[in-house]
Structure 1
Amino acid sequence: MNNGERAGERAIAVEVEKDKSYYWCSCGKSAKQPFCDGSHKGTDFTPLAYKAEETKKMFFCACKQTNNQPFCDGSHNKK
């Protein structure tokens, strides 16, 4: 599968809550970045589920080029 559209050029910091599930937008079309709002419908993309193991700040990928989905791995810095 191809990577989604770039939705930003920096990671998005989110304070996640232990045991809560989050659905990362993989297509890049969501208006609620970094999370899914259903904009992928009609495409081959689906959101990626992530369940927080602890309450802490996590850095979700916005460029959609990461090799560590749903988290930023610095791919936005690679040209």
Structure 2
Amino acid sequence: MKENNIKGGDAPIKCELEAGKNYAWCTCGHGDAQPFCNGSHRKANATPSMSFTVEEDKTAYLCTCKLTKNPPYCDGSHK
């Protein structure tokens, strides 16, 4: 399996997240549904998605560059 070998984008994407809903954040950058996983890591033999939920409805900026130290949230590492 390859590590995160491409960026999915150069800036975070604003997302409205729902409490209790399961999300799959793309860790490999290959998917065209950024910042979420669409299964492209399987064909690319890359890192699998990271599952997460939130405890309350909220707006969040999710990382697309895959360099964040606080996945899935953007921490400004793309700059």
Task: State the 1:46 CA deviation.
Answer: 0.7
Classify the secondary structure of the residue corresponding to 2:40.
coil
* Distance (Å, rounded) in 2 between the aligned partners of 1:2 and 1:32: 19
1:65 aligns with 2:67: yes
The runs of 5 or more residues in structure 2 that have no matched partner are none
TM-score of the aligned structures, taking structure 2 as reference length: 0.89
Task: State the 1:4 CA deviation.
Answer: 3.9
Percent of residue pairs identical: 42
* Distance (Å, rounded) in 2 between the aligned partners of 1:28 and 1:4: 7
Task: State the 1:44 CA deviation.
Answer: 4.0
Contact 1:4 1:65 in 2 (8 A): no
Q: Which amino acid aligns with 1:47?
A: S
Structure 1 runs of 4+ aligned residues shifted over 6 Å read none
CA-based RMSD of the aligned residues comes to 1.3
* Distance (Å, rounded) in 1 between the aligned partners of 2:4 and 2:46: 11
**How many residue pairs get matched?**
77
